[in-house]
Amino acid sequence: MQSDRDFESCASRLKALADPGRLQIVDRLLDGEQSVSSLAGELGVAVDKVSHHLGVLRAAQLVQTRREGKYVVYSVPAKVARAGRGLRGEKTLDLGCCQINLGEPAEARGAARFDDLARQFASEGYAIVRGMFSAQQIDAVDAELKSLLARGDLIQPGNLRCRWQDDTATGACVFDAFDPVIDLGPACARVAGDATLLALLQALCGEPVCLFKDRVIFKPPGATGYALHQDYIAWPGFPESLVTLVVAVDPADEESGCIEVFPGYHNRGCLTPSDGNYHEIPPDAVEGTTSVKLELAPGDVAAFSGFMPHRSAPNRSRHWRRLLYFSYNARSDGGDCRQTHYEQFRVWLRERYAEYGRSEAYFA
């Protein structure tokens, strides 16, 4: 028989779960433990808001924490999640006085529709989903990126967040990319944590994933492209399960310098020296191979393996070719390591800056 204290405890938990944002957080944590930054990226919510929600959930004893090095990760206590998943794989919370069925996981609901793409991805190393994001969603990203381009405080030569390219006509150095980007605005963060996007990734990787790296490449008219390379770098702890998803904000075609991939080459593993540095791949490594140009319309999504050799030509069109690049790793392959990666990456960038006599590097 339940005591008054039991019912009071249950009532406080139900009150904590009455907020949709907190319910979403618990839903994600039932798939496995995560950090605040990982949850914020997946849900497209500000870090401070996620921290507040986690505080409420912890007070209601719906989440618990443990320290992993200098980071704190959150999970659902076993006594709350002990009901596990039902016969249909649905998520269930056991609050003592009652159980709450959260339904079938979004990833599981979407996985079946991506079965054919998963088979293509395994065989060829890439896949395309047309029209995954609506015009309204892309319009929100478009507006956000336009506002970011006006941020003179961010677009500075010493800012490690910024990337630069040469203009093919003038030779001038032009701003090309932000890396990372999801902490600069909610629209990009929402795309990175979109449920359908994560369902696609679950189908491609065979398990839940964690966001590893995020960037936007603006590629203005005249900007040079990128030479042949792989996104995977033989860096200690770099996940071999890496998958990059590209979301088109502008049309990406041959004229604007769309991405070019080489089907099947992802099966050859890392094609560059294992010294932890970025290396271009000699063009003759893929000479005579049939390539595929990933021509995308706004809202389309392309996925390719971290081992896929790819390149892009200069933008010879009159419009920008803005693409969001989100790289993910399988949760079993390092877990949530985005923050660690960026800390190490910025140390590496500062060393490269110093080699050119530039000591003013900072991150903002």
- Residue 178 belongs to what H/E stretch? strand 173-178
pLDDT at 88: 40
User: Where do the domains of the chain lie?
Assistant: 7-103, 110-356
Mark the ranges of the chain whose per-residue pLDDT is less than 50.
Answer: 1, 83-89
pLDDT tens for 263-277 read 999 999 999 998 888
Q: Which pair of structure tokens corresponds to residue 122?
A: 């395994």
What are the residues facing 91 on neighbouring strands?
85, 103
pLDDT at 82: 59
pLDDT at 7: 67
pLDDT at 111: 54
CATH 2.60.120.620 is right for the domain spanning 110-356: yes
CB-neighbour burial class of residue 40 (10 A; exposed 0-12, middle 13-18, buried 19+): buried
Q: Which pair of structure tokens corresponds to residue 327?
A: 């790289």
What DSSP character marks residue 66? E
* Contact of 250 with 256, CB cutoff 8 Å: yes
What CATH class does 7-103 carry? Answer: mainly alpha
CB atoms under 10 Å from CB of 316, counted, come to: 15
